[in-house]
Amino acid sequence: MQRSFTDQLNRTINISYPPKRIISLVPSQTELLFNLGLDAELIGITKFCVHPEAKFKEKTKIGGTKKLNLDLIRSLKPDLIIGNKEENEQLQIEALMGEFPVWMSDIYDLEDAKQTISQIGALVDREPEAAYLNHLINAGFNDLQTLALQNNLNKSVAYLIWKSPYMFAGRNTFINHLLAVNGLNNVVKENRYPEMSLEDLRLLKPELVFLSSEPYPFKEKHLEEIRAVLPEAKVLLVDGEMFSWYGSRLVKAVQYFFQFQKELY
């Protein structure tokens, strides 16, 4: 049966429904598809789609999110490809769009993330499972916001995603939205992921500085470098998956943020 769906770039695709040969180009959406029960249908994933670990080992890897192996994808003959505007490269996606049904997400906040879960659930015939995930996410993040307000958690923060050069999560990003949900105010006012020196960051006087575990794998050894320039700030390593993955990982993120907030009171 053929069905039409509209993605978050407002493009309409036609697929054989329900799809039986799915390729996912984004780690958080791959994890969502597994959690929706699409083990058999998911035939190709990226090398960064590491969760769940056991299922990652079993699946064909079709390259990285920004360096897809287009020939391998073609050989798998997918009847649906699921990608994301920010995480995948436009030229590669456009090439795939000319040959296969490609559904794209475009996510900036929790509402976008929940809408993506609902829409992917409909796309792959897993609407009840998707609705339950959204119920858990909605309830959990409502409680998190309440907790932040009750504890007057209103601190300024800078969130580093890269080194050499230093890059930060700015406005108009999913990370920025999750910071705000947890009562944290981003000192970086530029959009997206601007570069900035540590000296420039010092002038912004953040109370907190978060070093993310991804995409750059910040470690303990990097803490002292930041602390030397910003001795007044509390510098912490944080789990980047909890701040930037927007699929079913958000259910686990709720528990992470409950504990995280307690450490910031």
Three-class secondary structure of residue 120 per DSSP: helix
32-48 residue pLDDT tens? 999 999 999 999 999 99
**244 φ/ψ angles, rounded to the nearest 5 degrees:** -130, -15
pTM of the entire predicted model: 0.94
Q: What is the pLDDT of residue 134?
A: 98
The pLDDT of residue 54 is 87
Mean pLDDT of 76-84: 98
The pLDDT mean for the chain works out to 96
Confidence (pLDDT) at 35: 96
For residue 71, name the pLDDT band (cuts at 50, 70, 90).
very high
Q: What's the angle, vertex CA 176, arms to CA 161 and CA 138, rounded to 5?
A: 120
Stretch 198-219: mean pLDDT: 96
For residue 124, the model assigns a pLDDT of 98
Q: Which residue has the higher pLDDT, 262 or 168?
A: 168
Rg over CA atoms, the chain: 19
- The fraction of the chain above a pLDDT of 70, given in percent, is 100
First to last CA, the chain: 54
- DSSP symbol at 185: E
